[in-house]
Amino acid sequence: MSERDVAVLVGSLRKDSLNRKLAHALAELAPPELKLSFVEFGDLPLYNQDLDQNPPEAWRAFRNRVKAADAVLFVTPEYNRSVPGGLKNALDVGSRPYGQSAWNGKPGAVISASPGSIGGFGANHHLRQMLTYLNVPTMPQPEAYVGGADKLFDESSKLVNDSTRKFLQSFMQAFAGWIAMYNDAKMRA
Ligand SMILES: Cc1cc2nc3c(=O)[nH]c(=O)nc-3n(C[C@H](O)[C@H](O)[C@H](O)COP(=O)(O)O)c2cc1C
């Protein structure tokens, strides 16, 4: 099976982020054909349409990195029942200039995590709404809302919950299948 470059976007910018720990666990549990690499967006200037004619270098580099990826994986917390502003900005920056969106047609998956019990459901679905518009065919199942995320890692950030590990492994396996299915369909089209 051919190797797939999966761009990982972690919605949280903080150093000790639970979502970043989760993303590292996903990278370890992914099947070998998926190569996950983190794409950072915390330093992207805020999207401003006035800059489209002469975009900041950070926007160009971010767009090019996303364009080069075979797939995109979003791992995000929920802020006020939606996605954190930094992630929204990254989606906006990647989506322009009009007609040249870096997201277009990249198979994607979403996983959200929170110390709370509903696991970032609101952020997960706000993100899915945006991804529909951006033409990111997003894996419908398994849905992944990781609740109680503050209990899942030890002091060295290692995942310590076996049932979560199994679930994350099956999630990544399903994502590999989703990417393969999408690419097969594209080849046949
Ligand atoms: C601005 C802000 C808004 C938040 N809103 C929510 C929320 O709507 N739902 C929720 O479950 N947790 C919310 N939280 C708590 C986060 O889930 C928690 O801080 C989590 O650890 C953030 O993810 P991270 O560990 O990856 O940084 C919020 C936290 C912040 C800082």
Specify whether the CB–CB gap between 44 and 93 falls below 8 A.
Answer: yes
- Which residue of 12, 15, 114 sits with most ligand 1 atoms within 8 Å of its CB, as the best mutation to test the pocket? 114
- Which residue of 15, 26, 78, 82 sits with most ligand 1 atoms within 8 Å of its CB, as the best mutation to test the pocket? 78
Question: 40 CA to middle of ligand 1, Å?
Answer: 19
| pLDDT given at position 2 | 85
Across 44-66, average pLDDT: 97
pLDDT at residue 1 above 80? no
Q: Which run of H or E residues covers position 145?
A: strand 145-146
- Give the residue, by CA position, lying nearest to ligand 1 atom 18: 114
Question: Is there an atom of ligand 1 within 6 Å of 116 CB?
Answer: yes
pLDDT band at 189 (very low <50, low <70, confident <90, very high): confident
Q: pTM surpassing 0.95?
A: yes
Taking the C-alpha atoms of 31, 128, 67 and 39 in order, what is their torsion angle to the nearest 10 degrees?
-70
pLDDT at residue 131 above 90? yes
Across 15-34, average pLDDT: 98
Question: Is there an atom of ligand 1 within 6 Å of 77 CB?
Answer: yes
Question: Is there an atom of ligand 1 within 6 Å of 18 CB?
Answer: yes
- 6, 138, 167 from 38: Cα distances, Å: 9, 19, 21
- The pair of structure tokens assigned to 17 is 């982020």
Residue type, 105: G
| pLDDT given at position 186 | 87
- Which residue of 18, 79, 81 sits with most ligand 1 atoms within 8 Å of its CB, as the best mutation to test the pocket? 79
Residue type, 187: M
- The pair of structure tokens assigned to 181 is 């299915």
pLDDT band at 12 (very low <50, low <70, confident <90, very high): very high
Question: 146 CA to middle of ligand 1, Å?
Answer: 13
